[in-house]
Structure 1
Amino acid sequence: MGTLAPEPTTVDARPPAPARLPAPRRSGPFRGPLLALLLTSAAFCTAWVARGTFPFGATGRAVNDQANQYVPFHRGLWDLVHGQAAGDMLFTWRGGFGQQFLSDYHTYLGNPFSWLAVLVPRAHVDLAVFAITPITMGTAAALMTVYLGRLHPGPWWQRGVLGAAYGLCGWALSDGSYIPMWLWGLVALPMLGIAVEWCLEGRRWPGVALLVALAWFGNFYTAMMATMAACVLLAIRMATRDMTGAQRLRALWRAATAAGTGLLLTLPLLLPSFLSSGAAQPTRAAAFDPVRIEIFLAGMLPATHLWGGRPRLYVASLGLILAGAFVFNTRIARRTRLVWGAATLLVAASFQFPPTQYVWHGLAVPNGNPYREAFVFSGMLVITAWLALAHRPRPLHLAAVASLLVAATFALRRTDDFGGWTWPAVLGGGALSLLALVLLRLGEKRRYLIPVAATLMIGTVFAESTVAAASADARRARERWAKPIATSNRSIGNHFEAVREVNGWPAYRTDSGAPQTSYNDALALRAEGPQYYSSYLPEVTYRALAPLGYGFKNDGRTFFGADNPVLDAIFSIGARVRPGTAPDTWTASKFPAPPLVTVRTGPYTSPHPADSVYARQENVLGATVYQVPRVTRGGTATEQRYAARCTPGSEAYWSSPALYGTLRAGGTEKRLEDRMTGVTPLGAVPASGKVDVTVSTRTRGADAGNHPLGCLDRPALAKAVRHLTTTGATSVRTGGHTIEATLPPGAAGTAVLAMTDIPGWRCSAPVRSFHGLVSLPLTPGTTKVSCTFTPKGLTPGLAGAALALMALTASTATTLRRRRA
């Protein structure tokens, strides 16, 4: 199992350092990280088994955005790699009627382990996405084990156990476990810690730059937090090491230049993502409201999962006891204890102070859980725990800290949502951890006790973390937003096949229809409808689609489909999939649709009221196809009645984005979910011409508006579709991020492309916005139009990366030349 480290007098007791500081000795270079990786992954997967969670049971695995974003985006990556995507790394035609993809890749697919999804059959991509979690957590634990060895030498298995305690921290189990790209921040922290040590030692400048780049390639959001934590680690290490002022300045210079070079390497992803974020549909993020102090402290107790957006700061009892003993361990230099202890407390305090919280979150108001940087505190706890363990803490100090942990648990037992497994973790895990540490100390003279202590330490961290993971999973599943859902089953498979049967891209689009399996069904099912959910959904897309009657949520960053033939004609949708009559079956239908590029010869203004969704649709279509009758109201605030008259045989449609409840019209009953429900069909208008609608709603002070009803004249729509088809493009070709159309002879007016005018389009003629769509003026004799999409910021980003590569190449060449000399 290894031997105890010889007893030092201080953490950093060294003779005056030369210009190049020696690297600390490391023992067990592979065994410790391997132990940490296996222990972390095994504990997390055992929790899955205990819960009967897919793939070890029938319980759904996908939580919230894992189902709605991460699995669909990984399926889109699979299609991209296997040559079956409608788009490329820069752009996707699937979802939102064509959207940028580079920023989505950087944000949702940046974790390098995401590429594991392309190695399995497409039907099992979701399983690969779930596997990313234990693999990434295990990698983080392994790297923390390496980093601990660089801070101070010691037995490999002790570092491995504490590395696993970091990989299984509360943030990873409760917040990061279902967000594969955020988990890369858990990896980035120890990775950047290693980079800090190289800077202090005056070694491997190119390696430092590459580690910074690797951290930021994975996910810039949590990498930013890890980078800030690395700055804290750098300051701590410079304050606790015996270094001259010149050495500190050189270390700072190396760190700053390497970090800048690493960031420049990521600029082709980072800059477009930053600019896409600025152009995205704004959200209403609430101001940061820190939790009460007792809730904050309760988040430090092991196996505690607090509801909602609350801090999960804990590590296993072993780590907490050792971290507490750190401040009492007189074998560690007083300066070292003071600096590490003060820095750890200041980091925790910064989580509760709004200005510093904004700094942790990139000067933005935290949206969702405001404690997304909690893994930084857990990492510092594990570091101080290792420094305490490496300096052989006294059993009396350990017992005192364990008693304080029990007392704190007792004092916080009535805190809101106090975890049911916290007491067993504190009493059981704490007692076994204390016993293991005492046996380890006794093992200095009785060597046979060391394997017993090692077994206890490994087993306790494994059992306690497994219970914590299972408890977090179970409690989170009881929250409405986090109810796990399936990402693969017979219905989803049949839905996918039904979409494939009618695929006709780019001659026309296919809408995957409703009900949706995820908010990104177009991407997941290889369709080209409006369904799209991304933090980068452009504001111009929202302003183009929302007024036309498409449903949305998340302040407009999530769009849904609408079963409306006018919208189908506008966006060249020529096929749609609907549920079949038998369970888990889907049927597909095809119908005439104009091409993706149509020609408008003159201005058109609908004769209907301008604030009507039906008038807005007609303005984009360029033809009158609706009857918008006057509606009379009756009933009560909760049982609202509406009546109108339309031409018998026409098709009635309804739009009431302010109402939530149930709609009944004739034999039709539909669920209304305010803005999520777009324009919805009511069926054919009866021979009497009377349309009666009743809405049962709990929405206070709201009604259906002035013009909720529109009656579609199908022959008029068919005539408009034929006209747009006849005068539109004779052929359309699409590339990964390009579109080219051949126009009929004599085409004149304006070419309208069925895609939103998002930033980045460059076309063969000046781009103009046509009700939010891309349009090009046609000069006489124009027979072809073409457009190319380039994400904003990509060109300067590539230039910055080229400069960084030149710097890295020059530095590496200089180093090699010096070695040869």
Structure 2
Amino acid sequence: MGTLAVEPATQSSPPPDRDRPAPRRATRSYGPLLAFLIASGAFCTSWAARGTFPFGTTGRAINDQANQYVPFHRALWDLVHGQSAGDLLFTWRGGFGQQFLSDYSTYLGNPFSWLAVLVPRAHVDLAVFLITPLTMGTAAALMAVYLGKLQPGPWWQRGVLGAVYGLCGWALSDASYIPMWMWGLAALPLLGIAVEWCLEERHWPGAALLVAVAWFGNFYTAIMATIAACVLLAVRLIVLDLTRAQRLRAAWRAATAAVTGILLTLPLLLPSFLSSGASQPTRAAAFDPVRIEVFLTGMLPGTHLWGGRPRLYVASLGLILAGSFLLNKAVARRTRLVWAGAALLVALSFQFPPTQYVWHGLAVPNGNPYRETFVFSGILVIIAWLSLANRPRPAHLALTAALLVAATFALRHTNDFGGTTWPAVLGGGAVSLLALVLLALGEKRRVLIPVAAVLMVGVVFAESTAAAVNADARRARERWAKPIATSGRSITNHFDAVRSVDGWPAYRTDSGTPQTSYNDTLSLRAEGPQYYSSYLPESTYKALEPLGYGYTNDGRTFFGADNPVLDAIFSIGARTEPGPEKNSWTARTFPAPPLVTVRSAPYASPNPPASVYAHQEQVLGATVYQVPPVTRGGSASKQRYTATCTPGSEAFWYSPQLYGTVAFAGAEKPLADRTAGVVRLGEVPASGRVDVTVRTRTRGGTAGAHPVGCLDRAALATTVGRLTVTGATHVTAGGHGIEATLPKGASGTAVFAMTAVPGWQCSAPVKSFHGLVSLDIPPNTNKLSCTFTPQGLTPGLAGATLALLALASVTVTGLRRRRRT
């Protein structure tokens, strides 16, 4: 194997690594440890400064952290502790049965997610919050290691710049509440280390495993980190003095290591890819790049812009060092030009729609379109390190600092400019410049070096803490980021109430309203329709939406409905609701058919086919509603509807186009258009008149032709009794399977109370019954069973097996070769 030769530098550059004494093994971990402590410590300090839980009463869980990540981690806790209704492949909790493997891969891949299973279930939310500083610290530590591989230098300087990367704007402002994305921050230096091993022509199995670790953590950000690793590889192949054969070997080793590592993750990756293709589509907008002044403002330290803006900044220390890189003649000219060109091209790619599409895995981002900006921050830190390791001149540092101040002044009128930017630029910049000047003077006066070290650590810690506080404070002003409680007396009592009426799989329990999160079924161990996942199948949406269940997020989030007909369809036999005292919850049970019922003949509802009530009857197989014509009056903002129903029946309302309130018999309830679903109004009075008033702000919206349905409770009770007698006598629901014993001589169609999501294989051919799984009962059969296997799992396992064989063969061959030599 040839020896790598770096491009020669000027006389002022430090001597090559081979001329230095080998560092003591005890000091090798100091740099990563320092980086970890600065990064994680600064972020936790920002929590304490704002009085955020667990350092105060201010809520921590915002947006999807409360609605998805905490509930999914509670589901992981249940899974590991043997208390889940399902397994790694499937969950019966939520959406009336959904795949779980893709959700695990996407939301629970961060290795620190497993901390959630080590704490009591009541404290899972705290473990989820701690994932962020732990991942930040790990990413900072890994970057410190990677920087040392690019060029040797003092451990404490690598530690400080590693922390600068771990505390970049993307981590503080964009991803700090998204635990699985945070692993992308760690994936970048991991893949950078793998690149260096490939260039050194050693540790090929280790490089493949590093790729696998990056992709296991979260494939979405791993895609971005892998593209960035390709940039790092290209830069290193250009700046290093290699022969053509060495370059080809390095590129081949990198390509094969990447393919092998990704193949190892195929059992998760392929099902996730196929689940994404089968999921309910969203109306993601086309990428619209921000104005150039907004883009440049995102590079200023401590800046947090509103909405989907790029957060590209690093601490002022890193920015000043990166700016001095081009002026640092101790670095070879070709090295400076190539690295600077790579940084520029990466930044430009963020503003160009086709390359943005590539950065996001060939998908249009649904939300903030600048999710890959940690890549640019990583390259900035690399450039900063190469400048620092080559002792930049104080004059160059001062010039860069002056340019930073001038740029801040020029961009001060950018929309939403503010927060800690000026303090970071003036205060943090001045201290950073002082520390770097002292460090330069320390070559002759060694006593100044500890002072410079303390100043560098202190300014990064303080500036990043202030930036994190500012990001949290400004984000909290946005409506979507209002913190939501994830623990407390009410939630504990709600959980206990759900568990007190657990009857699974004899019947389902609905956790009721009001909801704590969009995934209350996972948090509270219920089995209702509530579910929020990017992988919620289109088939589930098509099954539940026509029945009158409320939804949001373009159909990827479904809510419950307190409707007895829907309860009968989906075998819901228990429900919880708020009790009379504050934070109290009560539970009630009621008759419900089994999870598997038998239908002997097709049924056609006599009610208007366009109404939601007729569709419920079609699935139920009986007439239980009266759907009267309505008369509309009033104004556009205060609409009045009148209908006539049988006295004593129960009136329901459905108006998915209206947002506002609906009032009946002196009681008013909220209407949130499609989120509300079917709403219970109350008992029809003796007069038979159903007078409804809707106050709405929906311009031009109406309740439609058939918003009122009046339920005959006696007819429903008769139907429930019939479905119970003719349905399954015994149902067993395993981790990802279900088995039903039918009455002797049963014939017709068996309908399973679960949506026909892709992956079900049953003892008879699967048919769709209004979106539910159904089977024609074979003659002389009294047992039916179904098993769920995620699509793509089998070929994914095959691909991973091939990768393992390749990894094992290369490892064994290498060991034998070493033994011979």
What does residue range 132-171 of structure 1 map to in structure 2 within 5 Å? 132-171=131-170
Q: Contact 1:172/1:183 (CA < 8 Å) preserved in 2?
A: yes
Q: Deviations over 1:507-547 (max 9, x none)?
A: 00000000000000001100000000000000000000000
C-alpha deviations, 1:72-102, integer Å up to 9, x for none?
A: 0000000000000000000000000000000
Query: SS at 2:159's partner residue?
Result: helix
The question of whether the paired residues in 1 share the 8 Å contact of 2:204 and 2:253 is answered with: yes
Amino acid corresponding to residue 202 of structure 1 in structure 2: E
1:623 corresponding residue in structure 2: 622
Q: 2-side partners of 1:718 and 1:781: how far apart? A: 30
Shift of 1:12: 10
> Cα distance, 1:363 vs. partner?
1.2
Aligned: 1:420 with 2:380: no
Give the corresponding residue for 1:299.
298
The answer (yes or no) to whether the contact 2:279–2:537 under 8 Å persists in 1 is: yes
**Deviations 1:673-695 (CA, angstroms, capped at 9, x unpaired):** 00000101000000000000010
C-alpha deviation, 1:701, in angstroms: 1.1
Residue equivalent to 1:211: 210
- Cross-structure match for 2:499: 500
Equivalent position of 1:484 in the other structure = 483
| 1:188 aligned counterpart, secondary structure | helix
Change (3 A) 1:225 1:12: farther
The offset of 1:667, in angstroms, is: 1.9
The answer on 1:674 being equivalent to 2:673 is yes
Residue matched to 1:448:
447
* Residue identity in the other structure for 2:289: P
2:314 alignment partner in structure 1: 315
Shift of 1:420: 2.0
Secondary structure at the aligned position of 1:514 is classed as coil
Identify the residue that residue 273 of structure 1 maps to in structure 2: 272
- Whether 2:5 is the aligned partner of 1:9: answer no
Structure 2, gaps ≥5 residues long = 1-7
SS for the counterpart of 2:180 is coil
Aligned partners of 2:745, 2:500: CA distance in 1, in Å? Answer: 36
Q: Distance in 1 between matches of 2:817 and 2:808?
A: 14
Q: Which residue of 2 aligns with 1:783?
A: 782
The 1-side partners of 2:125 and 2:737 are apart by 30
CA contact (8 A) 1:25 1:150 kept: no
**Structure 1 residues 221-279: Cα deviation after superposition (integer angstroms, max 9, x where no partner):** 00000000000000000000000000000001001111111011000000000000000
Q: How far did 1:485 drift? A: 1.3
Are residue 402 (structure 1) and residue 401 (structure 2) matched? yes
- CA distance, structure 2, for counterparts of residue 487 and residue 642 of structure 1: 40
Say yes or no: does 1:115 pair with 2:118.
no
Between the aligned partners of 2:437 and 2:262, the Cα distance in structure 1 is 46
Aligned amino acid, residue 448 of structure 2: L
2:591 match: 592
Does structure 1 conserve the Cα–Cα contact (< 8 Å) formed by 2:13 and 2:390? no
Structure 1 residue 26 displacement after superposition: 6.0
Query: Secondary structure at the residue paired with 2:196?
Result: helix
Partner of 2:34: helix, strand, or coil? helix
Matched, 1:288 2:287: yes
- The answer (yes or no) to whether the contact 2:579–2:585 under 8 Å persists in 1 is yes
Amino acid in structure 1 at the alignment position of 2:163: A
**1:17-416 residue pairs with structure 2 within 5 A?**
28-416=27-415
Distance in 1, Cα, partners of 2:796 & 2:633: 59
Quote the RMSD (CA, aligned, Å).
1.5
Q: Secondary structure at the match of 2:718?
A: helix
Counterpart CA distance in 1 for 2:621 and 2:759 is 26
The amino acid across from 2:10 in the alignment is T
How is 1:747-762 mapped onto 2 (pairs within 5 angstroms)?
Answer: 747-762=746-761
Q: CA deviation at 1:419?
A: 2.2
SS at match of 2:710: strand
Question: What code does the residue aligned with 2:99 have?
Answer: Q
1:468 aligned residue: 467
* Alpha-carbon shift at residue 441 of structure 1 (Å): 0.4
| 1:479-530 deviation digits (Å, cap 9, x = unpaired) | 0001111100110000000000000000000000000000000011000000
Counterpart position of 2:741: 742
Kindly tell me: are residues 365 and 99 of structure 1, through their superposed partners in 2, closer, same or farther at Cα, counting changes over 3 Å? same
- CA shift for structure 1 position 586: 0.6
In the other structure, the counterpart of 2:701 is: 702
CA distance in 2, matches of 1:507, 1:520: 22
Sort the Cα spacing of 1:11 and 1:682 in 2 relative to 1 into closer, same or farther, 3 A: farther
- The Cα offsets for residues 634-669 of structure 1, whole Å up to 9 and x where unpaired, read as 011111110000000000000000000011111220
Aligned residues of 1:11 and 1:152 also touching (Cα < 8 A):
no
Distance 1:558 1:165 in 2: 37
Instruction: Quote the residue 1:3 is aligned against.
Output: none
- The one-letter code matched in structure 1 to 2:745 is G
Q: Which residue of 2 aligns with 1:684?
A: 683
- Do the aligned partners of residues 244 and 600 (structure 1) sit closer, same or farther apart at CA in structure 2, a change above 3 Å counting? same
In 2, Cα distance between equivalents of 1:234 and 1:639: 65
Q: Distance in 2 between matches of 1:281 and 1:615?
A: 24
- In structure 2, how many angstroms separate the alpha carbons of the residues matched to 1:393 and 1:528? 62
Query: Match of 1:473, SS?
Result: helix
User: What is the CA–CA distance in structure 2 between the aligned matches of 1:534 and 1:756, rounded to whole Å?
Assistant: 15
Q: Quick one: distance in 1 between partners of 2:10 and 2:559?
A: 65
Aligned in 2, Cα 1:114/1:746: closer, same or farther, shift over 3 Å?
Answer: same
Q: Which residue of 1 is the match for residue 601 of structure 2?
A: 602
The one-letter code of the counterpart of 1:137 is: M
CA contact (8 A) 1:10 1:333 kept: no
**Aligned mates of 1:253, 1:425 — CA distance in 2:** 44
Q: CA deviation at 1:22?
A: 13
Report the Cα offset of residue 8 of structure 1: 5.6
Q: Distance in 1 between matches of 2:598 and 2:541?
A: 24
Cα distance change of structure 1 residues 23 and 436 upon mapping to structure 2, 3 Å threshold: closer
* Structure 1 residue 625: Cα displacement: 0.1
Supply the distance in 2 between the matched residues of 1:173 and 1:71 (Cα, whole angstroms). Answer: 19
Classify the secondary structure of the residue corresponding to 2:59.
coil
Aligned partner letter, 1:537: L
Are the counterparts in 1 of residues 298 and 311 from structure 2 also a CA contact under 8 Å? yes
> In 2, distance between residues paired with 1:390 and 1:13?
8
Asked if the contact 2:9/2:332 (under 8 Å) is kept, the reply is: no
The structural deviation recorded for 1:9 is: 2.8
Give the partner amino acid of 1:238. L
In the aligned structure 2, how far is the partner of 1:420 from the partner of 1:249? 49
TM-score, normalised on structure 1? 0.98
Percent identical residues: 78
| Superposition deviation, residue 364 in structure 1 | 1.2
Residue of structure 1 equivalent to 2:511: 512
2:750–2:777 contact (8 Å) kept in structure 1: yes
The 8 Å contact of residues 594 and 728 in structure 2, kept in 1 or not, is answered as: yes
Alignment-derived partner of residue 575 in structure 1: 574
User: How far apart, CA to CA, are the structure 1 residues paired with 2:805 and 2:706?
Assistant: 62
Alpha-carbon shift at residue 166 of structure 1 (Å): 0.2
Q: TM-score, normalised by structure 2?
A: 0.98
Paired position in structure 2 for 1:801: 800
Task: Report the secondary structure of 1:294's partner residue.
Answer: helix
Q: Is residue 202–residue 251 contact of structure 1 (8 Å, CA) maintained in 2?
A: yes
Alignment-derived partner of residue 4 in structure 1: none
- Residue matched to 1:773: 772
Deviation at 1:404, TM superposition (A): 0.3
Residue of structure 1 in register with 2:4 after alignment: none
- Distance 1:25-1:264 versus aligned 2 partners, 3 A rule: farther
Unpaired segments ≥5 residues, structure 1: 1-6
Rounded to whole Å, the distance in 2 between the matches of 1:125 and 1:713 is 44
Conserved 8 A contact 2:764-2:778 = no
- Alpha carbons of structure 1 residues 436 and 14: separation in structure 2 relative to 1, 3 Å: closer
| Aligned position for 2:723 | 724
The answer to whether the 8 A contact 2:14-2:390 is kept is no
**Matched residue of 1:664: which SS?**
strand
Change over 3 Å in CA distance of 1:125–1:699 after alignment to 2: same
Q: Which residue of 1 aligns with 2:5?
A: none
| Map of 1:429 onto structure 2 | 428
CA contact (8 A) 2:659 2:673 kept: yes
